[in-house]
Homo-oligomer: A and B are copies of this chain.
Amino acid sequence: MKNSEQEFLKSAHGGDSKIGDINAILEWVRAQNDRVEVEVERIAFKDMTHWGFDALSGSLRHDSGRFFSIDGIQVSTNWGTISSWNQPIINQPEIGYLGFIVKRINGVLHFLVQAKIEPGNVNHVQISPTIQATRSNYTQVHKGRKPLYLEYFRNVKSDNVLLDQLQSEQGARFLMKRNRNIIINVDEDIPVYDNFEWLTLQQIKTLMRFDNLVNMDTRTVISGIQFSDPSVTCTDALRYLADSTETAKFEYESLKSVVTTEGAVHSINGIIHFLTDIKSRYDLIVDRIPLNDVKQWAVLPDEISRGDGKYFKVIGVNVAISNREIMSWQQPMIQPSQPGICAFVCKKINGILHLIVQAKLECGNRDIVELAPTVQCLTGDYRQPDSQPVPFLDYILGVSREQVVVDCLQSEEGGRFYREQNRNILVIADESFPDKLPDHYIWMTLNQLFYFNRFNNYLNIQARNLLAAIAFS
């Protein structure tokens, strides 16, 4: 396995594409969009076939008990200024596949992507992994078609597994949800079905500069591919791919570089100490309560929402799509009240690029806090005069244009979230930016973030999304 991993990482970065240049890919996505009809209309919960409110728990659930449910929770914590609250949350305990098949073509690794429709997508079709399948999905609870390429993942030999990690999803929306982020290699020729195409990692990263084009599932999987030259500075690291199509500049050195990176502000043990200290001091107690008892939220005939309109609402939709496993269905979705901002502030310290990482408690976290971007908030948070100031937000919104390396809108997963998008920003601070950070914030190098990203429940989805964008912006 080790040899193929190394080869993978060497060949994944850069190289010639098969489909051609970015314009050809954009044209392909556009053509896919033209070929499908998508209709999403809001309906009352009672009109959702196979979905209903459980008499006992009040949860909004599928008759089969599978897929996911909308439950009520009571949260208690000694973190932050609000010590207890109620909210609805998505409960999806099954671990699904988010997987890519990769294959060496003309000496360069290509990723088999799907131009996939999801009902919640703002622009309908997005670049998606080869497979996105919940366990209910691939065990065919809904009697639809078996997901394409499933058998490659089910029957893969260990030697062909290049990456296989459990990664968390939005802790404010999901109760301890995780998915299996997996990349497998094939050597043989395989069929390329309708809507599928081979792209290089470089192309996928380039497509991430466009708003809402690369879906969340793609971004989380590729965030696991390590970026590794220990000597990279901010400029080199962040602008590398714009200037270069060489292969193999990025070697599989990341683990080694964690050890040899003399300039890191904190050691790995120091970062573990930072997390242990926080996890020891803060409690996160989440109890399930009946959905009807969720305070400040009302279960109405066609939505579950707060009187003040804050945060999000749960809605029911009827979906009709022409190129999906099932042509039409009903389901609940989450509709956000406003877009959010996820941003990292970076700075060169001791000659090495460091990022400001915050330990963030979210109610659905499996282990109290996860490592999050410097800023992660709803835009509504800071527009209201009574809200707490968000550290570093003013700085990020006020920096000069040339310090901004990434700035685009990225969609959340369109199978659960209705037209949710967050602004992803990455800025480079200059020398005058203070090194001292508030409590719960820590400087980490890129390699240290990649190091922790291999393990369960360290980096949250928002941090991983930005990580996916960083390497090649």
Contact = CB atoms under 8 A, between A and B. Distances in A.
A158 B443 CA distance: 14
A257 to B, nearest CB: 10
Given A1-B270, A255-B268, A280 B180 contact: yes
B454 A272 contact: yes
A284 to B, nearest CB: 10
Q: How many copies does the complex hold?
A: 2
Contacts of A270: 1-2, 158, 161
A269 interface: yes
Nearest to A281: B95
Interface string A249-263: 000000110110000
Contacts of A274: 158
A407 interface: no
A209 interface: no
Given A256-B259, A454-B269, A283 B93 contact: yes
Given A180-B280, A256-B259, A454 B268 contact: yes
A272 B44 CA distance: 44
Contact of A276 (B2, B166, B256, B285): B166
B164 A277 contact: yes
A166 B367 CA distance: 11
Interface in A427-454: 454
Interface in A156-196: 158, 161-166, 180, 182
A163 B95 CA distance: 33
A267 B366 contact: no
A279 to B, nearest CB: 6
Contacts of A161: 269-270, 273
B280 A165 contact: no
Contacts of A279: 95, 166
Nearest to A255: B259
Contacts of A256: 256, 259
A105 to B, nearest CB: 23
A5 interface: yes
A455 interface: yes
Contacts of A165: 272, 276
Contacts of A273: 1, 158, 161, 164
A104 interface: no
Contacts of A266: 1
A220 to B, nearest CB: 14
Given A255-B259, A276-B164, A277-B164, A269 B5 contact: yes
Interface of A: 1-2, 5, 93, 95, 158, 161-166, 180, 182, 255-256, 258-259, 266-270, 272-274, 276-277, 279-280, 283, 285, 366-367, 454-456
23 contacts: A1-B269, A2-B270, A5-B267, A5-B269, A95-B279, A158-B273, A158-B274, A161-B269, A161-B270, A162-B269, A163-B269, A164-B269, A164-B277, A165-B276, A166-B279, A166-B280, A180-B276, A180-B280, A255-B258, A256-B256, A259-B259, A367-B456, A455-B455
Given A93-B283, A455-B455, 16 more contacts: A1-B269, A1-B270, A2-B270, A93-B285, A158-B273, A161-B273, A162-B269, A163-B269, A164-B272, A166-B279, A255-B255, A255-B258, A255-B259, A259-B259, A268-B454, A272-B454
